Structure 1
Amino acid sequence: MRLVKLIANLGYGSRKEIQTAIRHGWVTDRAGNRLKADSNVPHEDVLFDDEPLDPAPGMVLVMNKPLGYTCSIKDQGRLVYDLLPDRFRMRKPALSTIGRLDKETSGLLLFTDDGTFLHKVISPKADVPKVYDVTLDRPMKGDEAALFASGDMMLESEDKPLKPAELDVIDATHARLTLHEGRYHQVRRMFAATGNHVTDLSRSRIGGLSLDGLEEGKWRLLDEADKARIFEG
């Protein structure tokens, strides 16, 4: 049953459905030999319907999230999970986003089924920087960079100042903002506190990892080198 459980936990179907697939010969090794429910074959050598299995637990992937999609499976409407293979929703352990981007924010979004890795990325101790490209409704006043970098900025209804953030001004209404924490709608609230309004927001980098030309709505698996880049600032 080890092979049945392995494939079922990857979301390919219930254990009963996987047993049926094995009986029909849809589960083979790379040489084309039909496998049995009790076959002891390395994960990387198992094919399901002539395709390699998805990665074992510990999978991390990156998506270029489009506008209009939400990150919570409890929300109505279009979900980021709709852009992934259906079986990913059935994985055990579950696949989750590492942090969130709201419906009106696009760009780099990470997923994993590894809780330890997730907490390592979002932990304040890791201090993983996140870079956002911002378009504003009105020209900046000129003092925003100093305010954001001060470490004294307070957001409405909060009692703890923000960590210093770096603002690189591109032109009067465009900037790149690097955060070292993740509070609710933080970028939008920071600019709102200066009397401005964010009209377009996209995350372009987490640590040293960027989208590297990944098309909007597409995703790819991360290898060990990619994962290491997340912790490079």
Structure 2
Amino acid sequence: MSKKIPTSRVDKLLGSMGYGSRAEMARLGKAGGIVLDGADLTDVSKRIPVTPDLPSRMEIDGEPLDPVQGLVMLLNKPLGMTCSRKEDGSLVYDILPDRWKRRDPAISTIGRLDKQTTGLLLLTDDGDLLHRVISPKRHVAKVYRATLARPLTGTEGALFASGDLVLEGEDKPLAPAILEVVSPTEALLTVTEGRYHQVRRMFAAAGNHVEALHRERLGGLVLPDDLAPGEWRLLTPDEIELIFA
């Protein structure tokens, strides 16, 4: 059986995508600011199929329609920005176009990186995808590059891989993690969990201190070298599936 294509009133759809209120969309439509398949769409109460190709067929004020629900973006998170709307200071959401902050469903980060951690961060309005990625049952691997205050002793790899390490204040051991030494004070650490400040606390348990932390990979998805800190781009369906590869 083929999947039924959802439909929506134009004004409701554009409102949920942050373009403006129904009244504002009605005025925009009457002014010729909404174009669908090359023709002005003046009646914004009209219901249209919400298909994946809609952004290539619809223009708003001369610009292609934003992606409809299901967008996933890859951000190279800069230092000093927070992922939580409850914290003070600069938020990763500040990087997004203003209207994207008004989308419903809202755009959220897939997991979090703390304020002092940089690198690969995904954001989406797809709640199902978000839960698939962060679900403990999925065991999606995350690779971090850690710069350390003191040289590695050589015992950390066995400790992290043992499955016996219990972090301070917890009683459940960590799942085994893989350490790859890059230099005496730099290492790649692959973890499959997302506990609070996990990588920093793991190195603290080994008697060291993380001075800089950068996430390079999520599943099979790698942070591109040409994506500068603070830059983002939308992911293709194939790239999204790489997360679970």
Structure 1 residues 33 and 15, CA, compared in 2 at 3 Å: closer, same or farther? closer
The residue aligned with 2:91 is 79
C-alpha distance in structure 1 between counterparts of 2:61 and 2:125, whole Å: 24
- Paired residue type of 2:156: E
Give the corresponding residue for 2:27.
Answer: 20
Give the Cα–Cα distance (whole angstroms) in 1 for the partners of residues 42 and 160 of structure 2.
59
After TM superposition, give the deviation of residue 220 of structure 1 in Å: 0.6
State the 4+ residue runs in structure 1 displaced beyond 6 angstroms: none
CA contact (8 A) 1:98 1:118 kept: yes
Equivalent residue number for residue 11 of structure 2: 4
Count of residues in Structure 1 that have an aligned counterpart in Structure 2: 232
Look up the match of 2:119. Answer: 107
Equivalent positions of 1:204-223 (< 5 A) are: 204-213=216-225, 214-223=227-236
Equivalents in 1 of 2:65, 2:223: separation in Å? 25
User: Structure 1 CA distance, aligned partners of 2:89 and 2:33?
Assistant: 35
Task: Report what 2:77 is aligned to.
Answer: 65
Change (3 A) 1:35 1:46: farther
SS of residue in 2 equivalent to 1:117: helix
Q: Tell me, in whole angstroms, the C-alpha distance in 2 between the residues paired with 1:108 and 1:32.
A: 40
8 Å CA contact 1:58, 1:114 repeated in 2:
yes
Give the RMSD, CA atoms, in angstroms.
1.3
Counterpart of 1:191 in structure 2 is 203
Q: Does the CA-based 8 Å contact 1:29-1:35 persist in structure 2? A: no
Match of 1:124 in 2: 136
Alignment deviations for residues 105-153 of structure 1 (CA, whole Å, 9 cap, x no partner): 0000001111111100011111100000110000011100000000000
Q: 1:37: Cα distance to partner?
A: 0.9
The percentage of aligned residue pairs carrying the same residue is 55
What's the secondary structure of 1:64's corresponding residue? strand
Q: 2 CA distance for matches of 1:68 and 1:19?
A: 41
TM-score (norm 2): 0.91
Per mean C-alpha deviation after superposition, the further-off stretch among 143-152 and 43-52 is 43-52
Aligned to 1:89: 101
Partner of 1:228: 241
- What TM-score, normalized to structure 1? 0.96
Does the alignment pair 1:157 with 2:164? no
Post-superposition shift, 1:2? 0.2
- 2:3 alignment counterpart: none
- Mapped partners of 2:157, 2:20: distance in 1: 52
- C-alpha distance in 2 between matches for 1:165 and 1:228: 23
8 Å contact kept, 2:221–2:239: yes
* Distance in 2, Cα, partners of 1:12 & 1:191: 46
Name stretches of at least 5 consecutive residues in structure 1 with no aligned partner: none
State the distance in 2 between where 1:205 and 1:30 align.
39
Gaps in structure 2 of 5+ consecutive residues:
1-7
**Residue 155 (structure 2) aligns with:** 143
